[in-house]
A and B are shown apart, each in its own frame.
Chain A
Amino acid sequence: MAKLETKGVDLYYGDNHALKNISMQIDANTVTALIGPSGCGKSTYLRLFNRMNDLIPSARIEGEILLEDKDIYEKKFPIDILRREVGMVFQKPNPFPKTIYENVAYGLRVNGIKDKKFIDERVETSLKQATLWEEVKDKLRKSAMELSGGQQQRLCIARALAIQPSVVLMDEPTSALDPLSTHKIEELIFLLKDNYTIVIVTHNMQQAARVSNKTAFFYLGELIEYDDTNTIFTKPAKTMTQNYITGRFG
């Protein structure tokens, strides 16, 4: 059983056919990289899995999107339960203008958890998982806005992990960060993959090659090729993939 699966998914923004008949399976506890030029649909595809496309009024979706074989677009699958299971990290670090502690605790609080000891534990564990604990343990009550961009992004990862999802979606999580912070996030992804299913959109070929087990190449709303990262980067089946990863277009 695949952790995540799409069966013949089409997505339209008004008249714009943004995803064309995408069928793909993503296994549990792997890192899958989605690559392709801007506007190819890879971020749109990523947002299918936590239904963030629902926020765009003109978006229309056809086909099946499954989490552990359950259709997540069915009425009986509550959206807040889905989003507890499928966390997300965004392109620009977007911590709330609250304290570091409150940022991580937020997801627990909105999901109805009030036990202070449990929240304390989750905050500490999540910050440790996001390799941020040592840097912030003495200033949990300080504003998250005081952290550097890289620290803020790791805080956002901790915030996503706090509600114990099994899937983490990452939408170009390092594109706004400097090389050192990028390196830290990549190390973190490496650590997380034993326990989480990670899907990451990236513009950075080296990043895809470094962190992922499997890579999917999107172009103009179509899934061109999907295979082991090694295969994609050494002997891709399609010339188009070859051209893209060697930088001949994109």
Chain B
Amino acid sequence: MSALTPKGNSTRKRILQIVGFGAFRAITGFVVAVLFGILFFIFHEGLPAMTWKFITSNPENGMTEGGIFPAIVGTGCLVLGSMLFAFPIGVMSGIWLNEYLKDGYLKRFINMMTNNLAGVPSVVFGLFGMALFVNQLKFGDSILAGSLTLGLLALPVIIRTTEEALKSVDDSYRIASLALGASQWQTVSKVVLPVAFPNIFTGLILSIGRVSGETAPILFTVAAYFLPKLPHSIFDQVMALPYHLYVISTSGTDIEKSRVIAYGTALVLICIVLASNILAGFIRRYYTKKNKT
């Protein structure tokens, strides 16, 4: 036996390892259990409400009966609107930051500001959206104002994921392209972006999940308490799932009677978020495999 190894040391190491990893495993298990607990609870309470009628009809009888169709459509409009605004702007900013802007004070300053923006509470975005879009620009309570507000909220996340996606593209591609006489923009658009696109797209889908569940930003900018008809233009108000959930569980006409509908709404909302996350995972895996072969 080596003179370097005191007797009993290896046993102690092994026990320490078992205890250490045992504790980590237990803590991880606890987190997962809480998560599943929440999911199970929502599914258990919400599933009874889940009927075709619930998804496709208007709320009735003071929102204690009927469905949540207008809220689903409203959330769909807001998600679409906010992404139409935030995705192009976010991706373009990310490209500029990562591919063109040289390292220096300006870049560090902009990065710091995007990080700060990502940390601003969503209710502050709501207030800002109301002040700027609803009042100053006179869009009123509308899909336009709500979408722009939600878009602002999603912007830092999209910029960040775009930057990260571009950063992970091997520099040897850029160098090979430039060495063939390509311009920087040709290099970015023909080589770098196609490689980075799956990750950028994943970022987009994840922010859809985030945006569809936000309540505070739409509170003062678009959400309607009760509006059982579909919007005709981007200047209309709409109902939205998270706000509807908030309304019928805190200030509805009969909170006890609306309980099932509230859980049903929560279930729909969670399903949208889960579905977008799972879709993002699939897309990433599909393209990673495709790029490798």
Contact = CB atoms under 8 A, between A and B. Distances in A.
Interface string A128-164: 0000000000000001011000000000100110010
Interface string A93-112: 01111100000001101110
Nearest to B103: A57
A107 B175 contact: no
B179 A110 contact: no
A83 interface: yes
A83 B293 CA distance: 30
A48 to B, nearest CB: 13
A159 B172 contact: no
Nearest to B292: A145
Interface stretch (A12-20, A84-92, A191-199): A84-92
B182 interface: yes
A55 B292 contact: no
B181 A106 contact: no
Given A110-B182, A110-B186, A97 B177 contact: no
Interface in A53-96: 55, 57, 79-81, 83-84, 87-88, 90, 92, 94-96
Contacts of A90: 172, 175-176, 179
B117 interface: no
A110 B174 CA distance: 13
Contacts of A156: 176
A83 B180 contact: yes
Contacts of B176: 90, 94-96, 156, 159
B72 interface: no
B175 A163 contact: no
A52 interface: yes
Interface residues of A, number: 30
Interface in B270-293: 291-293
A160 B182 CA distance: 12
Contacts of A32: none
B108 interface: no
B292 A107 contact: no
A22 to B, nearest CB: 21
Interface in B168-222: 170, 172-173, 175-183, 186, 190-191, 194-195
A159 B181 CA distance: 12
Contact of A159 (B170, B175, B180, B191): B180
Contacts of B12: none
Nearest to A85: B181
A146 B290 CA distance: 11
A83 B179 contact: yes
A110 B175 contact: no
Nearest to B186: A110
A50 interface: yes
B102 interface: yes
A145 B177 CA distance: 16
Contacts of B292: 145
Interface string B225-252: 0000000000000000000000000000
A84 B181 contact: yes
Contacts of B175: 52, 55, 90, 94
B181 A163 contact: yes
Given A90-B172, A92-B172, A143 B293 contact: yes
A25 to B, nearest CB: 23
A82 B195 CA distance: 27
B293 A160 contact: no
Given A57-B102, A145-B292, A146-B293, A96 B182 contact: no
24 contacts: A52-B179, A55-B178, A57-B103, A80-B181, A80-B183, A81-B181, A83-B180, A87-B179, A87-B180, A90-B176, A92-B172, A94-B170, A94-B173, A95-B176, A97-B194, A97-B291, A98-B194, A107-B181, A110-B182, A110-B183, A145-B292, A159-B176, A160-B179, A160-B180
Query: What 8 pairs between A and B have smallest CB-CB spacing?
Result: A107-B180, A110-B182, A94-B172, A83-B181, A80-B181, A88-B179, A84-B181, A110-B186
Given A90-B175, A95-B176, A97-B194, 16 more contacts: A52-B175, A52-B178, A55-B175, A57-B103, A79-B181, A80-B182, A81-B181, A90-B176, A92-B172, A94-B175, A98-B194, A106-B177, A110-B177, A110-B182, A110-B186, A110-B190
Interface of B: 102-103, 170, 172-173, 175-183, 186, 190-191, 194-195, 291-293
